[in-house]
Amino acid sequence: MGLKILTEHINVPGIDTLETYRKLGGYRSVEKALKTMTPDEVVEEVKKSGLRGRGGAGFPTGLKWSFLAKPEGKPRYLVCNADESEPGTFKDRVLMEKIPHALIEGMITSSYALGARTSYIYIRGELMFVLRILEKAIAECYAAGLLGENILGSGYSLDLHVHPGGGAYICGEETALLESLEGKRGNPRNKPPFPAVWGLYGCPTVVNNVESIATVPWIVNNTGEEYAKIGVGRSTGTKLISAGGHINNPGVYEIELGLPVEEFLFSDEYCGGIWKGRKFKAIVAGGSSVPILPGELFLKTAEGTPRLMTYESLSEGGFVSGTMLGSGGFIVMDDTTCIVRNTWNFSRFYHHESCGQCSPCREGTGWMEKILHRLEHGHGHMHDIDLLVNVSKQIEGNTICPLGDAAAWPVASAVRHFRDEFEWHVKHPEKATAAGAVYSGAEDLAFA
């Protein structure tokens, strides 16, 4: 059993109430930070911790905080990104649903560090039932003097509000989220200026993921130095992994970064191996946006080194033979999975979710979806496969926000690693479209 920073008490009955949460040590970081530390000292601890943004990008949280502009006469905002929409990812939802106070405590301590007097939790609108859980917990905090005027007599005041989205993946991108919070369509903004200078209502703003913010209390209580001792190298601390797909034990697991990938996937403590006694074919390890990898390249690098659950180890080999830890959304595929169908499904997702601002993404995601649809349905041509890669390359890097890259990478990597399966769809459309048929590596695949 590894160290649990966020989920130690997740199964304790009543942990969603302030009373139980506090009894188990909750809100100590608020006391400590507000009464014994300056805001800059809190920022310094988070910097020392090496905590990296848990939403997917992995940018150091402390560094992001230190960029926040502090002009006179302008409010500053902390906005929590709880718009968890990356396919394969459901960790933030589970954390907020089970231990809402973990996020709220983090919001108070972090808001203090950043000098915010009003903070928002932007939660995806579909999670209205989680919004209600958060609002109940926030009301408990106001009643207990943990929110509102003069928190615990410290002189610091904070208002915290939850804001529901309306159903749009793009609002997970921080500038789209801010547009949405201002009551507009979720069109990402051009950067610079970054939100640290020009964020919500044109004021300096920090946007952080739920898990990142919920980690801050432990760092404040135990020091950044202690946090940095957990993990391996630049991958410090623990990480929530959402595990789904064809595994025996789907769910959310908190792991210490540095855990061997094989142990996570196959031990009964975590995923419990591939379901139905089948073989491990492929995985998308960091949410749908990261490159897909064949099973063997996921467990070991191209050089044969066993991979670890760290940002660095999973990306070893670059996009040729590696992937990314991303949001920690594990989508595991067994040997009955059709890679073409899966890639088509993902492309349809990105086409559906493109905001339409940049033509390469608006048009390109639709073209990729169409090409993949005809390949999957037995109407593809051999030149479609290169066309697909070509389109993905023209989207990548040519858009305002990373949705374009996120749409391009799954397609390019699927063709890179599973080209023979795409070719099989073109050569044997009658087999490829038959119910239950899956390419098994043999050209003359016979099936019942």
Partner 1 sequence: MESPTTQNEVQFSEAAMAEIRRYISHYPAERKKSAILPVLHIAQAEFGGWVSPQVQEKVAEILDIQPIEVFEVASFYTMFNLKPVGKHVLEVCRTGPCMLRGADGLIEHLENRLGCHVGKTSPDGLFTLKTVECLAACGMGPMLQIREKYYENLDPQKMDQLLNDLSKA
> Where along the sequence are the contacts to partner 1 (CB under 8 A)?
84-90, 92-93, 120, 124-129, 132, 159, 161, 163-169, 180-186, 201, 242-246, 250-252, 284, 288, 329, 331, 333, 337, 341-342, 345-346, 349, 352-353, 355
Q: Which is nearer to partner 1, 117 or 229 (CB)?
A: 117
Omega within 30 of 0 (cis) for the link into 192:
yes
Residues in the chain: 448
Residue 411 CB, shortest distance to partner 1, in Å, is: 13
Q: How far is the CB of 352 from partner 1 (least distance, A)?
A: 6
- Minimum distance between the CB of residue 306 and partner 1, rounded to whole angstroms? 25
Neighbours of 387 (CB within 10 A): 15
| Edge-to-edge strand ranges of the sheet holding 159-164 | 159-164, 118-123, 77-82, 205-209
Nearer to partner 1, 88 or 204 (CB): 88
Nearer to partner 1, 231 or 328 (CB): 328
Q: At what angle do helices 382-395 and 403-427 cross, to 10 degrees?
A: 180
Q: Are 68 and 40 in contact (CB under 8 A)?
A: no
Q: How many CB atoms lie within 10 A of CB 305?
A: 11
Residue 336 contacts residue 278 (beta carbons within 8 Å): yes
CB-wise, 120 or 367, nearer to partner 1?
120
Please report how close the Cβ of residue 343 comes to partner 1 at its closest, in angstroms: 9
CB of 105 to partner 1, least distance (A): 20
Nearer to partner 1, 88 or 380 (CB): 88
Least distance to partner 1, CB of residue 214, Å:
16
- The conformational region for residue 153 under phi > 0 = left, psi -120 to 50 = alpha, else beta, is left
Sheet with 238-245: strands ordered across: 251-256, 238-245, 329-334, 280-284, 293-294
CB of residue 126 to partner 1, shortest distance in Å: 5
If the CB atoms of residues 128 and 320 are measured against partner 1, the closer one turns out to be: 128
Distance CA 204, CA 200 (A): 7
Using DSSP, state whether 52 is helix, strand or coil: strand
Residue 408's nearest CA partner among 321, 319, 276 is 319
Q: How far apart are CA 401 and CA 439, in angstroms?
A: 35
Residue whose CB is less far from partner 1, 60 or 125: 125
Strands 205-209 and 231-232: unpaired
